[in-house]
Chains A and B, each alone.
Chain A
């Protein structure tokens, strides 16, 4: 199922890469702090969000991501600092006069109004003409493919349909920015994945800026052009999904997104382009450093190594300067259908998680419990972060 825009006037989407650079930001958070009593929800935060981005605020509950959204929507006022939208300072402008609309986590559909009344609600507040409201509502209903549901009440809709009504209602006023608070949290897994693509499609067609709050890293990775990872009221890293996953700025970010092996190492020196590090004073590891890495011999660092970058073999891999090899015993295998994860106890006592796609049927799998195996990964498959 794909959304089609009946107005077909939507701007053509430019490639995201062009959008994320060299533009004056649509939204600026400047030194924003928000406290509730003695609790600091947002602490001196700076952030730029550009036009037509699909931007995710990602973090565990209580990290301040929902507060960011409520500050932007106008339900809360900043304690200090300011928020600019399109160059305009939003301080003191109440929620009902901000060119920002929000799709609520619980959808917040008005239970006493029909689907059409819900979608037209914002237009009615702006005193649009009845016929214009009707046209716009029809357009929105077509956008979310609910033309036959205009006269239904919210309780007569399924969860997915309610989600689409909420989306249509928040888009009806053509906001500059659409805020989505855990928009898919109430849907089951399969519907959620389907809806993610619908959201991306709508955003792309209408050429709007979407800001989504979520605690679901998969969701953030799938839909966003950029992700801001938050913790305790601060931004830890703001980057594209691929950069966040493959080049996390800290071990916290690495650990928060996906599975990871975090290995404490001590830098030993350089070998041509490769950095050499000592693991627990023994094993030498080769790492291809990033341009921005500061490599002081003797410094303690954390090596971020994703399980799927590690090969598991029974035979010893051939030696090469840019390949790391360690030997251990399989302690545990967990089967998840498309892949299997191996927990391997190295001879030095450390536990490493490695993942292999199940290219063969499980009955043909070579590696089994308690087997001696070799783990290997390339120097460019891992990154260093501060310990």
Chain B
């Protein structure tokens, strides 16, 4: 049992984490810079946040991005969970190899290729590009990630729980709904969160599949970033960093508290026996 860090390990961790966090920290610090010159400190100010929050274009882009992320994550989670069930539970069926290929290929496909191919499809079938084309594109590549997340949980799921439900009178469908789904729910939620984040974060595929009037936040951010560093982008980035950080920390705290309570319960039960 290791209780302390040794010097070497402490040094690597410090440098590693500094490398990961310093760049983001600089962005956050300079988002409070009063000066327009991004590298010269001109005093503390929150004015850039006000400017960003009053910028219609950013707000519109943020709103459309959130809507796309919500719808596509939901679609991706449903489709991904279905695919996971097919992959883990269905055994052999005609076309299984093709199916597993189609599940795994998008994970390693360069975004530019995915984006290009979907755009070409939408052009070929004459679908107007906009909200729905981006949503479909995001759902398609996110469902593969969702499927991987749910599959790995499903693979370790104790099949006898389902057998027990069948034995007690459930149909296969109601056994899945009443027993399997609640038990794998944390994985399904993770899959949704991952899909949601992937969609929020995506620039390349959205750029290919978007149309007029459907500019997402990453697309807006990208066109601003190309013009260089600006305090507005610092403020916008800091807000996004803040939201994500709070979300992830909250999720992990809840998770850890549940785990700890479960451990305590188990220990108490063992002691009482």
A and B assemble together:
yes
Interface residues, chain A, with chain B CB atoms under 8 Å away: 73-75, 94-97, 100-102, 104-106, 108, 110-112, 121-122, 125-126, 153, 155-161, 169-170, 173
Q: Does B17 contact A (CB under 8 A)?
A: no
Q: A111-B161, A158-B272 are in contact. List 8 more A-B contacts (CB 8 A).
A: A74-B166, A96-B169, A102-B163, A108-B158, A108-B160, A156-B268, A173-B168, A173-B169
Contact partners of B160 in chain A: CB under 8 A: 104-106, 108
The answer on a CB contact under 8 Å between B167 and A95 is yes
CB within 8 Å of A: which of B259-273?
262, 265-266, 268-270, 272-273
Pairwise interchain contact A161-B179, C-beta atoms closer than 8 A: no
Min Cβ gap B196→A in Å is 24
**CA–CA, A316 and B269, complex, Å:** 59
The answer to the question of B233 belonging to the interface, with a C-beta cut-off of 8 Å to chain A, is no
A95 with B166: CB separation less than 8 A: yes
Name B residues whose Cβ lies closer than 8 Å to a Cβ of A: 158, 160-161, 163-171, 174, 178-179, 182-183, 262, 265-266, 268-270, 272-273
Taking chain B's interface residues, is the majority helix, strand, or loop, or is none over half, making it mixed? helix
For B164, what are the chain A residues with a Cβ–Cβ distance below 8 Å?
Answer: 102, 104, 108, 110, 169
B167 pairs with A156, CB closer than 8 A: no
* Contact A112:B168 (CB < 8 A) given known A104-B163, A158-B270: no
Nearest residue (CB) in B for A125 is: B169
> Chain B residues with Cβ under 8 A from A169's Cβ?
164, 168
Q: Is the CB of A75 within 8 A of B171?
A: no
For B170, the chain A residues whose CB sits under 8 A away are 96, 125
| Residue of A74, A96, A126 touching B171 (CB-CB under 8 A) | A96
With the chains together, A14 CA to B249 CA distance in Å? 64
CB distance from B81 to the nearest CB of A (A): 17
Total A-B contacts with CB atoms under 8 angstroms apart: 80
Min CB–CB distance A273 → chain B (angstroms)? 53
- What residues on B are CB-neighbors of A74 within 8 Å? 166-167
Known: A125-B170, A169-B168. A95 touches B163 (CB 8 A): yes
Which residue of B is nearest A100, CB measured?
A: B167
- In the complex, chain A residues whose CB is within 8 Å of the CB of B169: 96-97, 122, 125-126, 173
In the bound complex, residues from chain A placing their C-beta under 8 Å from that of B158 are: 106, 108
Once the chains are docked, how many angstroms separate the CA of A160 from the CA of B167? 22
Interchain nearest-CB distance for A232 vs B (Å): 25
Query: In the bound complex, do residue A108 and residue B183 qualify as a contact, i.e. CB atoms below 8 Å apart?
Result: no
Is there contact, CB below 8 Å, between B167 and A155? no
B183 / chain A contacts, CB cutoff of 8 Å: 110-112
A157, B165: Cβ atoms closer than 8 Å: no
12 A-B pairs (CB sep. < 8 Å): A73-B163, A97-B169, A100-B167, A102-B163, A106-B158, A106-B160, A111-B161, A156-B265, A157-B269, A158-B272, A159-B273, A161-B273
B267 CB → nearest A CB, Å: 10
Residues in B with CB closer than 8 Å to A126 are 169
Q: B167 contacts A101, CB within 8 Å?
A: yes
Known interface pairs A110-B161, A112-B183; A96-B272 also in contact (CB < 8 Å): no
> Considering the chains assembled together, what is the distance between the CA atoms of A97 and B262 in angstroms?
35
User: Is B163 a contact of A108 with CB atoms below 8 Å?
Assistant: yes
Bound CA span A96–B173, Å: 11
In the assembled complex, which residues on chain B have CB atoms less than 8 Å from the CB atom of A73?
163, 167
A160 B273 Cβ-Cβ under 8 A = yes
Chain A residues whose C-beta falls within 8 Å of the C-beta of B270 in the assembled complex: 158
CA of A101 to CA of B163 in the docked complex: distance in angstroms?
A: 11
Contact in complex: B182, A112 (CB < 8 Å): yes
Bound CA span A249–B161, Å: 39
A110–B176 CA distance with the chains assembled, in angstroms: 12
Which residues of chain A are near B265, meaning CB under 8 Å? 153, 155-156
Contact at A94–B166, with CB atoms within 8 Å?
yes
* Most chain A CB neighbours (cut-off 10 Å) among B161, B164, B165: B164
User: Which of chain A's residues have a CB closer than 8 A to the CB of B179?
Assistant: 110
When A106-B160, A108-B160 are in contact, do A155 and B166 touch as well, CB less than 8 Å? no
Among candidates B167, B182, B262, B266, residue contacting A96 with C-beta atoms closer than 8 Å: B167
Measured CB to CB, the nearest residue on chain A to B263 is A155
A48 to B262, CA, bound (A): 46
Tell me how far the C-beta of B149 lies from the nearest C-beta in chain A, rounded to whole angstroms.
Answer: 19
User: Which single residue of chain A is at the shortest CB-CB distance from B182?
Assistant: A112
Q: In the complex, are the beta carbons of B269 and A161 less than 8 A apart?
A: yes
CA distance in complex: A42, B113 (Å): 53
Cα distance, A79 to B182, chains bound together (Å): 34
Give complex CA distance A170, B166 in Å: 12
A155 near B269: Cβ-Cβ < 8 Å: yes
CA distance A111 to B262 in the complex (A): 11
The answer to whether A125 touches B174 (Cβ under 8 A) is: yes
Min CB distance A177 to B, Å, is 12
Closest B-chain residue to A172, C-beta based?
B168
Instruction: Return chain B residues, CB-CB under 8 Å to A122.
Output: 167-169
CB-CB < 8 A to A160: which residues of B? 273
Q: Give the CA-CA distance A17 to B164 in the complex, in Å.
A: 33
A74 to chain B, nearest CB (A): 8
Q: Do B269 and A108 touch across chains, with their CB atoms under 8 A apart?
A: no
Contacts of A102 in B (CB 8 A): 163-164, 167
Nearest Cβ in chain B — how far from A360, in angstroms?
38
**B270 and chain A: residue at smallest CB distance:** A158
